[in-house]
Homo-oligomer: A and B are copies of this chain.
Amino acid sequence: MTSRSNIFDIANEAGVSIATVSRVMSGQPNVRPVTKDKVLAVARKHGYRPNLLATGLAQRKHKAIGVVLPLIDNPFYSKLYIKIHQEAEALGYTVTLFQIRRGSYSLNAMMDDLIGLRLSGIILSGDTMNEDSYSQDSELVAELSQNMPVVLINTPLPTSLPCLSTSLAEGARLAVRHLNRLGHKRIALLGGINTPTYENTREYGYLDEMRRLGLEEYIYPFSAGESLFEGSMCITRMLSTYSKDKLPTAIFAFNDLVAMGAMRQLQKEGYRLPEDMAIVGCDNQPVSAYLNPALTTIDLHIEEIGCAAVNLLINTDRQQETGFSQSIQPTLIIRESCGA
């Protein structure tokens, strides 16, 4: 850990002022080529890299964005995070992750970092699985947005902040419509959970479409938890509730993991897929194409949202005040699990 050289050292050795070094390092114009080369040579020789903390301090901000998410081990969020990271990095921004885990972590410490770091902005996706976190999210967002640009994802709070959403309700309609078109009447939803943003939930879309079709509803709610396990539990409950001839013949699952859990449990119980039960998942995880049967699913296009969020955040002047919001339409990916 040799003590680093700073802008003064470089300026000295190159025989110029620190202003010139600064200009060279940040690629500003109006510096003579010969001067520039001299400075660069000295800098390279010493392995000089400008201290970004000082830079950030002087410029009152930092080419860095913060991403606030629920636990990222949910593939939906990790996909989103990866995309955000990729896009931001390509634009020269650094990205720092903050996970909201209920209870265990001091939210206040998180806010200290989030605000103290003088980030360029924040992308936040609240936890739509949990009603309690809603008011919490609201508070966080209120303070954050006073300090820097914020872009929300799937988190329509009562603010005028820009929010990008996957159209969950539309996804559910797509799934139900597809199953009904294949002749199914008893279609179950695995994972109905009340969220504060009720208009844009899978449950809302499911109910909406089922009623439109005049069909009876079968909802299997579960609490937030490991999706795979919840999926299999739903099936256990379902099988113990209905006799074989009353059983739903099709399922729309909260996400692909829930679908997998359900498939596993059904197959374990001797049901053949898709003959005895049709299934539609949600998220279009890579693995879903490699299941047996390959899973028909809803692609929510979360990557697009990730990209859009980064760009919206960075070109914030354009959108921030106007309360720009947008929701993007999902796509049905037909594979084998409905026998189509």
Contacts and interface: CB of A to CB of B under 8 A. Distances in A.
Interface of A: 1-2, 4, 47, 49-57, 62, 64, 72-73, 78-79, 82, 85-86, 89-90, 92, 94-99, 104-105, 109, 111-113, 115-118, 143, 146-149, 226, 228, 232, 257, 260-261, 263-264, 267-268, 286-287, 289-292, 294
Q: Is the interface of A mostly helix, strand, loop or mixed?
A: helix
Copies in the complex: 2
Nearest to A289: B228
B147 A4 contact: yes
Nearest to A101: B86
Given A116-B50, A287-B260, A292-B267, A82 B92 contact: no
Contacts of A64: 96
A57 B147 CA distance: 21
Contacts of A143: 47
Contacts of A289: 228
Nearest to A57: B53
A257 B53 contact: no
Given A1-B146, A49-B111, A148-B1, A94 B82 contact: no
Contact of A57 (B57, B109, B117): B57
A228 B290 contact: yes
Contacts of A2: 146
Contact of A257 (B50, B228, B287): B287
A262 to B, nearest CB: 9
A290 B261 contact: yes
A53 B62 contact: yes
User: Which of the listed residues A53, A90, A226 has the most CB atoms from chain B within 10 Å of its own CB?
Assistant: A53
A142 B247 CA distance: 63
Given A51-B57, A54-B57, A89 B99 contact: yes
B52 A117 contact: yes
B97 A226 contact: no
A258 to B, nearest CB: 10
User: Which of the listed residues A118, A146, A290 has the most CB atoms from chain B within 10 Å of its own CB?
Assistant: A290
A294 B260 CA distance: 12
